[in-house]
Amino acid sequence: MITAREPEARCAGSEDGFALLEAMVAIPSVSTEEDRLGQFLVERLSRSGFTSRRDEVGNVIAEWGKGRSEVLLLGHIDTVPGLIPVRREGDRLFGRGTVDAKGPFAAAATAVARQPSSGGCRFTLIGAVEEEGSSRGARHLLSRPAPDHLIILEPSGWDAITLGYKGSLRAHYRLSQPMSHGAGPLASAADRAIAFVRRIQDRAARLSEGKGSFDSLDARIVRFHSDHDGMTDGAELTVAFRTPPGFDVMGLQRDLEQWKDAAELRIDYADAAVRAPKNTPLVRAFLEGIRSSGGTPRFKMKTGTSDMNILAPAWGCATLAYGPGDSKLDHTPEEAIDRADFERGVDVLTAALAKLAR
């Protein structure tokens, strides 16, 4: 077992790229706590030839080349909570963020550094902050000019391309009522909150009947608390929705307002689902890159969300998501990435970026 450290290696080759990833994973960066990793990346990427800085909200911005056409590669440097001891077991690296999404970011940094800096294309590598929460970093970028091509750095597996993500909506419910006897006829706050959720889930099941996972409405409780102080009985919960393309989000919000009864209801955000076309030069470049690396390309439509949901509709440019790593390990205690998969991902990115530059 090798304990992770911050090695002094450039990220020009696949081995150095894996060392960069190990160094990144060794720096905790739970969402809203990315400062240390952000500063490390600015210094490390600057040594590798990038022009690097951090913007007003803490995003890492690293530029390579001066061409007229821009390829923007956007990942995120924050992680969900949960300490996973950083270690290597053979060629497998364990640690929070190895897959989601420091692995794809390190692979992209390695691939961009392999491109000539004097070509007709410029590459902008961005490590966004707070993707696991409010997507503050991505939302801050909405005012910048759109790139020609947008690559979202999320795990797809080295031989797959992600073209779509479901939308998301998060609702917070809070009910407070006078305390009543447990044997009396009145429903408790917890009972009423559960009835609210059942109504939501029943509606979701009816709307999703006979549909695949990407085209269905999902509703999941991510937080629930109920308590009383002898005078007041209360219940609070948070429901996370995953919405399919074309879903009537405003209609759902109207339903929630009707069903909440006496409770307070707050909607945090509502980002629509996104589906990118297959027949673009960007997609073709990645198909060629996967084939040249010995793979058979696959397309994925994910039931989660990413910063693609925010940026692709606003910018209207060609887009896809790509990165090495098994997304089934996202947010789990077993999060890890294989060196071979990482290096294949670097090769695919290198080939795809070179084709785009030509």
Q: What is the CATH number of the domain that holds 122?
A: 3.40.630.10
Q: How are the residues of the chain apportioned to helix, strand and coil, as percentages rounded to the nearest 5? A: 35, 30, 35
Q: Same domain, yes or no, for 157 and 195?
A: no
SS3 of residue 338 by DSSP: strand
Q: Tell me the residue range of the domain where 257 lies.
A: 167-271
Question: What is the pTM for the complete model shown?
Answer: 0.89
Q: Same domain, yes or no, for 15 and 111?
A: yes
Instruction: List the Cα angle 105/93/101 in 5-degree steps.
Output: 25
Catalytic residue among 16, 131, 132, 335: 131
Q: Same domain, yes or no, for 52 and 200?
A: no
Q: Same domain, yes or no, for 17 and 136?
A: yes
Q: Same domain, yes or no, for 45 and 124?
A: yes
Q: Same domain, yes or no, for 267 and 283?
A: no
Instruction: List the Cα angle 262/267/271 in 5-degree steps.
Output: 150
> 131 catalytic, yes or no?
yes
- Strand bridging mode 51-54 / 2-3: unpaired
Q: Same domain, yes or no, for 221 and 246?
A: yes
- pLDDT given at position 268: 84
Alpha-carbon distance of 116 to 105, in angstroms, equals 19
Beta strands per DSSP E along 204-259: 218-228, 232-243
Q: Same domain, yes or no, for 73 and 110?
A: yes
Q: Same domain, yes or no, for 14 and 144?
A: yes
Q: Which phi and psi angles does 94 have, rounded to 5°?
A: -100, 145
- pLDDT given at position 271: 87
- pLDDT given at position 14: 56
Instruction: Name the domain boundary from 208, 236, 271.
Output: 271
Catalytic residue among 63, 70, 78, 271: 78
Q: Same domain, yes or no, for 214 and 118?
A: no
Q: What is the pLDDT along the chain (358 residues), one digit of tens a residue?
A: 233 333 333 344 556 899 999 999 999 999 999 999 999 999 999 999 999 999 999 999 999 998 899 999 999 999 999 999 999 999 999 999 999 999 999 999 999 999 998 878 999 999 999 999 889 999 999 999 999 999 999 999 999 999 999 999 999 999 999 988 666 678 899 999 999 999 999 999 999 999 999 999 999 999 999 998 888 999 999 999 999 999 998 899 999 999 999 999 999 877 889 999 999 999 999 999 999 999 999 999 999 899 999 999 999 999 999 999 999 999 999 999 999 999 999 999 999 999 999 8
Q: Same domain, yes or no, for 97 and 6?
A: yes
Helix (H) or strand (E) holding 128: strand 121-128
Q: For the chain, what is the domain count?
A: 2
Q: Same domain, yes or no, for 223 and 310?
A: no
In this structure, the number of other CB atoms found within 10 A of the CB of residue 182 comes to 8
- Strand bridging mode 121-128 / 69-76: parallel
Instruction: Name the domain boundary from 243, 271, 299.
Output: 271
